[in-house]
Every structure is written in C-alpha cells, then in structure tokens.
Structure 1
C-alpha cells in the first residue's frame, strides 16, 4: 500500500513539474509587447503617414502602440522617453527631432530598445538588436533625381540648377543633396547652382524663396528639391508668376499624395517614393522583435551588421505614377 501511495505521489509531482514548465513557456512566448512611438513633428505630412501606418500595422498584429507627438521640441521628446520608462513600455520607435540628441535619448530610455526611424543616428550609437535604424538610403534619392535631370536635359552640358534643401544638418538633407551634386558631376554635367538654400521641408518657405529668386531675373533649367512640399512651393510660385510649371523639370522626394498628383498633371516631373508604409511596418516589426528579446534576423532588408533595415526608394514619373495612386 505504501509503495502504491509513493508511486501516485511521484506521478502527481511529475505532472505538476511539467504543467509548471508548460505554463511558464506559454507566458513567455505570449509576452505582451507595448510600443511607444515618439514622432518628431506631427504637422509634417510624411511623418503623419509614418504614424498612421505604424498604428495600422500594430493593430493588425494585436500590439499596443501609442503615438506621442514631440511637436518639434527636444524637451518633449526627452519627456516621451521618460514616459516609456515609467509606464513600462517594451520598446520605443523614435523619429528624432534632432539626430544629435540620439545618445541623450538612449540614456533617458534607460535600456529600453529603440528603433530610430527616418533620421539616422551615427553608426557608433547603434547596436545590434538594441538601438537600430529603419529608413531608406537618402543618397539613392538624390542619385535618382540627378539621373533624371541628366537624361531630361541630355542635350545640355551646362545646367543652371535651383536646389532647395531640407533642414540644415538633417541626414536626409545631407544625403540627398550630396548625392545629387555628385551624380550630376559623374554624368559629365557642369552644374551651376544659381540658387541654393534651406527651405526646411516647407511648401510656404519654398514658395517665398522662389518668388524672391524669380524677381532677380536669373535663368534656370531645373529645380531639385529635397522633398515634395518644397517642390510644390516652387510650382505655386511659378503659377502665381504666370509661368507654366510643366515647362521646367521640377523634382521632389516622398511621393506624397499631392506630390503624385502633381506628377499626374505634369507640374512635377519626378518624385521619389519613400515608402512610409514600408518603413513604419519594418519599424513596428523590429520593435516587436527587440522589445520581446528577439533579433532582427528574419526581418526583410536587414543589413548584415544587424543595425539597419533599409527600405528601398522607387522612382515615380508619368510612366508609372498610376501604380502609386491610392
């Protein structure tokens, strides 16, 4: 009888052990990931799209994601990092107000993994499966613009260029501008930059600047803008001054809805599709992985060093714009 009782007790203990292991494994594998998305400036059209697509994808994955708008304030963005710590977030997606604050943001987050989005920190501040970057290679956008100009104005060796740039010091401004200039040079074009300034991604600022430029009477052959909003500011200025914008190659970046429509009506010749949806989806995927202790190895377009996820740019002109219309 004693032997029978001992056997029964042993079986009960083994069942308890295995049940406990199974329960532990279940809880671990279904760990709830909670993501805070700190957006640099919610008034910017492209950044609005980043937030919208991130929310949509997180919802489709049953993942909690909260968007906080730093509204262009470094102090607000630092406060977002503190909120992530005190409220128990698993991971942060951060479109930085100022990329030079990346180290400060990491320290304020106190070890919470950060997926930087759309503005690229220094490589030394990134760490595999901890601090990573999702975006598109800015140099490619500038390269595509210059290649288009070289083809469109192929009969000209000397080209007078208007170049409107984004925020001073912004990685996209630097990457797109330098690549455009370098590619024009490589194509054998002698580019004279008859007007070059920072319009800070703003349609109104670009319009005002271009109105002043037109008043000088200087000749120009093309307009290269670091984004669609500035390109559209030039379109607005030309129309106000009774100049047909379709007579000049005006190029932008982002393929926003208004940018694509401008390509359809001919007032812009080219925009570069920066896939906001693809960037946001990859950012959320990365945040889910590193926020739950996983790795980026199975995510599409991840770099060999595990620090970057590159989402490719695509050219959009009259030949294929309908494919990108919603």
Structure 2
C-alpha cells in the first residue's frame, strides 16, 4: 500500500493541534475559575446523555467518566432516553443538585438551546457534544462534534492516493436526515479539488443498513456497473457490501467510516480495506476537558472543535485510537490539564 503523504500530513497536524490546544486565561468574570467545588472536596459534573442505548453515546459517556476520574472529578450521568421532556427534568435535577458544570449530548439544536439557557439561568457552565446548540456563543463553553463533510473528504483523498484512477461505487446512507447530505458536500468538494483522479460511477443508498446495502450492491453488480473500489458510508453497510462482493466472486477494496471495534476487526480480518476513524472516545474526553478547563482552571477552550478523522488500514491499525476509553486516547488529546 503506497504511502499516503497528503492525508498523513493533514492528520498529523490535526493530532498536534489537539495535543497542543492553546487555552487562554480570560478576564471575563463568567470564565473565572470557581472558588472551589460546590459539593465538597471534589468537583461534581453532570452529564445528560441523549440515549444510552445508542452505542456512540455509550462510548462517549464512558470516555467522559474516564477523563473525569483522571483528575478526581465526580460525575452524575442521566439518560434522557431521546425524550425532550425527560431531558428538561434531568436538567432541573442537576440544577437542584447545584453541580459545578454540565455537559449535554443534545437531541437537537433547539433542545440544546433550551437546556443551555436553563443552565445559564442557574449560573452553571455548560458544554455540548455531537450537535451545535441554537445559542449565542457567549451562552455556552464549547461544542465538539464529528463533521461528516470532512469525513467524506478524507475518504475521497484516501481513495485517490491509494487507488489512482479508481472507479468508485458509493453505497450511501439514507436521504433526508442530513447526515448523507453533509457527507455529499464534502465528497463534492474533494472531487472538485482532485479533478479526474477518481470517479464516482454510481451512488446507491443502503440507508445505514447491512441487508439493504448488500442488496443495492448486488443490483449494481448485476446491472453491469463498472467499479473497482467501494465507499460505504458506515461499517454496518460495509458488511453488506462485502457479502454482495463475495457472493459475486469479487474481491475489491472497501473503504468505510467509523473506526469502532467491529470496524477495526473487519480491517484485521481483511473484510474491509480501510476506515475513516472518528474516535468517539476523543469526543467524550474533549468535552470533559473543555468543561474542566473553564470551571476549574479559568481557561477558555476553543469554541468549536472538530472530532479528528484518522484514516486506518492494516498498515496503521496498531496505532488506531480506540472508541474505548483508555490512557492512549487521553494521551492523544494531550491530557486534561
């Protein structure tokens, strides 16, 4: 596999930016560190999850707790179970407990705004992950989220550098939810920059599902679509693509996104070639760090942080950042303090 110099340089820079994030002390009274924890010797931070049945949210909460434990902060995690009404009652509960800070994994930008204003009215600093709130920037600490357009760009650059002149079948997610559309924005930008280096010969929609992705890939094969690389919008879909290719007697590179435990195993087993990893462990740790730095240290973090996108294949899998909370992920972001 050829060296991916352009991608490597970009993501080394991203890693350095994370590990060397500059935090500046501000004079604004609202950003000054508290005199001390409100509830005893240790700070207590609340964390409102949107739905703990969601694996992405589960890993994020675990990483938030891991980061908190590293600096002796107690956490109270409450699950909104994808309910706006419940999330409001949970915010009321944390306010009543007079916690030192609150992190929110929102259901929507408007719900984030509602919870953010509740926290602000109570004088409790609040930070967000995964979704930007419909708030003025002065009303919250920060937000960290995956940028799907950037992931799409990374995938196209990886394919162009690894498989020049590739003819790509794009097995895409569902239309209408905004995620596929954001991916497409990044893909379009990348293709315009890359010129004729690669070509997407067809886009079929597997709607984030394994079986449907298998079926639409099989249909593309049977229709005679000429392709030699597949880009699957997530690793569940990549499984379906692999099944369809195997059934047709084809062994073609599959590039996916995610970087979860299943995805990394698929790379190890040779089922997919590479994945554009966006480690949610970093999301949970960075959202904790942003809250801690302002509440405890009086430093202001960057207002918006993009979750880094790290291309992973067999040549780099040993250095992959796990979705699971561990010291390696904490080291990757340069620690908490």
TM-superposed deviation, 1:55 = 1.0
Counterpart CA distance in 2 for 1:100 and 1:223 is 36
8 Å Cα contact 1:166/1:226 also seen in 2:
no
Partner residue, 1:114? 126
Map of 1:23 onto structure 2: none
SS at match of 1:162: strand
Matching of residues 231-242 of structure 1 within 5 Å: 231-236=238-243, 238-239=245-246, 241=247
Which portions of structure 1, spanning 4 or more consecutive aligned residues, are displaced by more than 6 angstroms? none
- Per-residue deviation at 1:188? 2.0
SS at match of 1:252: strand
- 1:176 equivalent to 2:188? Answer no
Equivalent position of 1:161 in the other structure: 169
**SS where residue 28 of structure 1 aligns?**
coil
Cα gap change, 1:129/1:109 in structure 2, threshold over 3 Å: closer, same or farther? closer
- For residue 316 of structure 1, what is the aligned residue in structure 2? 312
Task: State how far apart, in whole Å, the 2-side matches of 1:226 and 1:128 are.
Answer: 35
**Structure 1 length-normalised TM:** 0.73
Cα-to-partner distance string for 1:123-156 (whole Å, 9 max, x where unaligned) = xx25258241023444332111011222344234
Q: Which residue of 2 aligns with 1:97?
A: 107
From 271, 286, 291, the counterpart of 1:287: 291
Match of 1:53 in 2: 63
TM-score, length basis structure 2: 0.71
Q: Residue 84 of structure 1: which of 84, 94, 99 is its match?
A: 94
Indicate the residue corresponding to 1:22 in structure 2. none
Q: Which protein is bigger by CA-based radius of gyration?
A: 1
Verify the 8 A CA contact 1:144 1:315 in the aligned structure 2: yes
Query: Equivalent residue for 1:17?
Result: none
Rounded Cα–Cα distance in structure 2 between residues aligned with 1:43 and 1:234: 26
Partner of 1:28: 35
Q: CA deviation at 1:275?
A: 2.8
| Partner Cα separation in structure 2 for residue 30 and residue 107 of structure 1 | 22
How far apart in 2 are the matches of 1:253 and 1:271? 5
Is the Cα contact below 8 Å between 2:238 and 2:254 reproduced in 1? Answer: yes
Q: Gapped runs of 5+ residues in structure 1?
A: 1-26, 200-204
- Contact 2:213 2:238 (8 Å CA) reproduced: no
CA distance in structure 2 between the partners assigned to 1:317 and 1:116 by the alignment: 31
Cα distance in 2 for partners of 1:96, 1:237 equals 36
The separation in 1 between residues aligned to 2:249 and 2:92, in whole angstroms, is 51
Q: Which residue, 167, 171, 195 being the options, matches 2:204?
A: 195
The structural deviation recorded for 1:285 is 1.7
- 1:227, 1:285 → 2: CA distance? 28
Shift of residue 316 of structure 1? 0.6
In structure 1, the residue corresponding to 2:81 is in which secondary structure? coil
The 3 A distance-change label for structure 1 pair 287 and 180 is same
Which digits, 9 at most, give the CA deviation of each residue in 1:251-294, with x for residues without a partner?
22221111111112221111122232322222112222344583
Tell me how far apart the structure 1 counterparts of residues 125 and 176 of structure 2 sit (CA, whole Å): 28
Contact (CA 8 Å) 1:129, 1:296: kept in 2 or not?
A: no
User: Is 1:275 aligned to 2:287, yes or no?
Assistant: no
Unaligned runs of 5+ in 2: 1-33, 323-337
CA contact (8 A) 2:105 2:130 kept: yes
